[in-house]
Amino acid sequence: MTQERPSSLHTMGQQHGRRSWAEPWKIKMVEPLKVTTREQRVTALEEAGYNTFLLRSDDVYIDLLTDSGTSAMSDRQWAGMMLGDEAYAGSRNFYHLDAAIKRFYGYAYMVPTHQGRGAEHLISQTLIKAGDHIGGNMYFTTTRLHQELAGATFHDVILDVAHDPQDLHPFKGNVDLAKVEALIERYGAAQIPYISLAATVNMAGGQPVSMANARELKALLDRHGIRLMLDATRLVENALFIQEREEGYADKSIAEICLEFCSLTDGAWMSAKKDNLVNIGGWLAVNDYSVFEELRNLVVVYEGLHTYGGLAGRDMEALAIGIEESMQDEHIRSRVGQVRYLGELLTEWDIPIVQPIGGHAIFLDARRFYPQLAQDLFPAQTLAAELYLDSGIRSMERGIASAGRNAETGDHNRPKLELTRLTIPRRVYTQAHMDVVAESVKACFDARDAARGLDMAYEPKYLRFFQARFTPR
C-alpha cells in the first residue's frame, strides 16, 4: 500500500512543511443556506423545547449537530449511485463492498446493516447473554443501550484522564489495562464476552487510542480468551493521530495503520455515516466463521438479506467507493485540519474546550463556561440553546441529558464531562464558516454570566436526549 502515498498526495502546504491543510477537492455543486432573524430563532427554539434535535433543519444556518450522515459525497460516489444493482440477492455492489472492507479493514466476513446501531444490535444479541459484563473505553449512547438490552452491564475502562477536559495526554482514548484486569478478576472471563474498543472515542472528545495500547489490550484479553471488538466508526481519524503522535508510524500510510489496528481485533461494527463518507449505511465484520454464521442468521430477521442488510445497491456502491476515499492521507489531513483550525481559534480566545483537539468535533466545556449552573440545570444543553439563538448554529448536548438515568437507582447518570459538541461534517463547510462559528461561540462566552439553565419538562424512556423537552429558568 506504500505506493499509494507519494508526496504528491500531501497537500501543497504539507509538501513544503507549511501549516496549510487545504482541501484536496474543489466544489462542483452548492446547497443554499438559510439565514434567520433572532425573532425567528426564538420561536423555533421554543417550538423545539430547547432541544436542538427537535429543530427543523430549515431553521438552522450552520448545522454542527453531527458528522453522522451529513458528509458530502464525491462525484465518483454519485456516479457509483447510478451503478446500483438493485437485485434482491447477490447484488454486484455487495461484492464490491465486501472487497473494500477486506482490503481496508482486513476482516474475513461481513454483513451490511442500515447504520451503526443495526450492527450494534446484531453483535450484542449474538455475543452477549443475560448477566454478562462489558468493558468499554467510555460509553457511547446507542452502543451501551444495545449491550444493556442484550442483558449486559457496561463498565467504563478508559484512562481516568479521559474524563478531564484539560489533561493533554496524547492518547486519551486508551484503555486502562488495570481496570480490565480488575473487571476480569471480579466477574471472571466467562462473563465477559468481549471488550468494546472505540477508536476514536466520541464522548471523550474524539480522542484517539494508540496502537501500543490496542496491542497490549489484545495480549491481555488473549490470555483470558476474551474477544476484542472494535467500534470502527472513526478509525480513520484515529489512524491520523497514530501517524502523527506514535513512534514508528510517521512513514506508514493511513491505510496501513488502519489495517494493522484492525488486525489486533476480532471484529468491528461500523457506522459508515462517519469515516466512510456516506449518508446512510453500516456494516459488521468478524474473523470467526461461527460468529459470522450467527450474524448472518440474525441480519435477515432485523435488517434484510445478508447481501444488502437494509441498504439499496446504490448505497452499497457509494459506501465501497467512500471507504477507499476515506483512507487517503490527504483527505484525512484536511478533514482533521479543519477541526483543528476551529479549535485553535477558540483556544487563542481562551474559550474552554476539551484538549487536545479531537478528530471530528470541538467540544465546548460547559462546566467551565457556566460555573454558576449546577449540572442538574443542563449547562451543555443551555449552551447549545444559546448558540442557536445567537447565530442559528446547531450543536449537540453531550452531558447529563445524553448520559440518561442509572437503570437501578433511576437517578440521573452524572458524567464528569458536560460538553456541547460542535461536530464538523466532512467536505461540507468552508474555513469562513468556521470563522462564523468561532465568533458566535465567543459572543456566547462573553455573555456567559447571564445564563440561567434549563429544566427538563418531558423525558422519553430510551435515549432521552433525542426527544426530551426543556423550559428555561
Residues that bind ligand P71 (CB under 6 A): 66, 68, 115-117, 140-143, 198, 202, 231, 233, 271, 273, 282
Beta bridge pairs of residue 133 = 153
- Dihedral of alpha carbons 25, 27, 33, 35, sign: positive
> Active-site residue among 104, 107, 140, 241?
140
**DSSP SS3 for 179:** helix
Q: How far is the CB of 141 from ligand P71 (least distance, A)?
A: 5
- Phi-psi bin for 225: left (phi > 0), alpha (psi -120 to 50), beta? left
Q: How far is the CB of 309 from ligand P71 (least distance, A)?
A: 13
Beta bridge pairs of residue 469 = 458
Give the containing element (helix H, strand E) for 116: helix 116-127
- Tell the residue number behind the cell numbers 450522515, with chain if given: 69
> Active-site residue among 43, 88, 446, 471?
88
Query: Using CB atoms within 10 A of its CB, is residue 37 exposed (0-12), middle (13-18) or buried (19+)?
Result: exposed
> In whole angstroms, what is the distance from residue 10 CA to residue 33 CA?
31
- Amino acid letter, 211: M
Distances (CA, A) of 387 to 65, 384, 449: 12, 5, 14
- Comparing CB distances to ligand P71, the nearer of 319 and 451 is 319
> Active-site residue among 50, 94, 139, 465?
465
Q: How far is the CB of 127 from ligand P71 (least distance, A)?
A: 16
Q: How far is the CB of 312 from ligand P71 (least distance, A)?
A: 16
- Dihedral of alpha carbons 121, 124, 125, 126, sign: positive
- Comparing CB distances to ligand P71, the nearer of 41 and 117 is 117
- Comparing CB distances to ligand P71, the nearer of 24 and 267 is 267
- Comparing CB distances to ligand P71, the nearer of 273 and 367 is 273
* Catalytic (active site) residue 376: no
Q: How far is the CB of 113 from ligand P71 (least distance, A)?
A: 9
- Amino acid letter, 9: L
Cis peptide before 200 (omega within 30 of 0): yes
* Catalytic (active site) residue 388: no
- Comparing CB distances to ligand P71, the nearer of 115 and 382 is 115
* Catalytic (active site) residue 231: yes
The answer to whether 308 and 91 are in contact (CB under 8 A) is yes
Kindly state the cell numbers that stand for 25.
477537492
Q: How far is the CB of 23 from ligand P71 (least distance, A)?
A: 22
Cβ-proximal residue to ligand P71, closest one: 116
- Comparing CB distances to ligand P71, the nearer of 65 and 183 is 65
Q: How far is the CB of 449 from ligand P71 (least distance, A)?
A: 30
* Catalytic (active site) residue 465: yes
> Active-site residue among 59, 156, 231, 266?
231
> Active-site residue among 141, 307, 420, 423?
141
> Active-site residue among 398, 426, 448, 464?
398
> Active-site residue among 274, 367, 427, 464?
274
Q: How far is the CB of 253 from ligand P71 (least distance, A)?
A: 23
* Catalytic (active site) residue 88: yes
> In whole angstroms, what is the distance from residue 410 CA to residue 399 CA?
17
- Comparing CB distances to ligand P71, the nearer of 66 and 355 is 66
> In whole angstroms, what is the distance from residue 204 CA to residue 157 CA?
12
> In whole angstroms, what is the distance from residue 284 CA to residue 163 CA?
29
Q: How far is the CB of 270 from ligand P71 (least distance, A)?
A: 8
Complete DSSP assignment for 312-374: -HHHHHHHHHHHHHHT-HHHHHHHHHHHHHHHHHHHHTT--B-SS--SSEEEEEHHHH-TTS-
Kindly state the cell numbers that stand for 313.
445497491
> In whole angstroms, what is the distance from residue 338 CA to residue 313 CA?
32
- Comparing CB distances to ligand P71, the nearer of 68 and 147 is 68
Backbone angles phi, psi at 272, to 5 degrees: -70, -5
> In whole angstroms, what is the distance from residue 423 CA to residue 410 CA?
30
* Catalytic (active site) residue 473: no
* Catalytic (active site) residue 117: no
Q: Residue 279: name the closest of 327, 312, 230 by CA.
A: 312
Distances (CA, A) of 38 to 135, 348, 383, 394, 397: 45, 28, 16, 14, 21
Catalytically active residues, by annotation: 88, 140-141, 231, 274, 398, 465
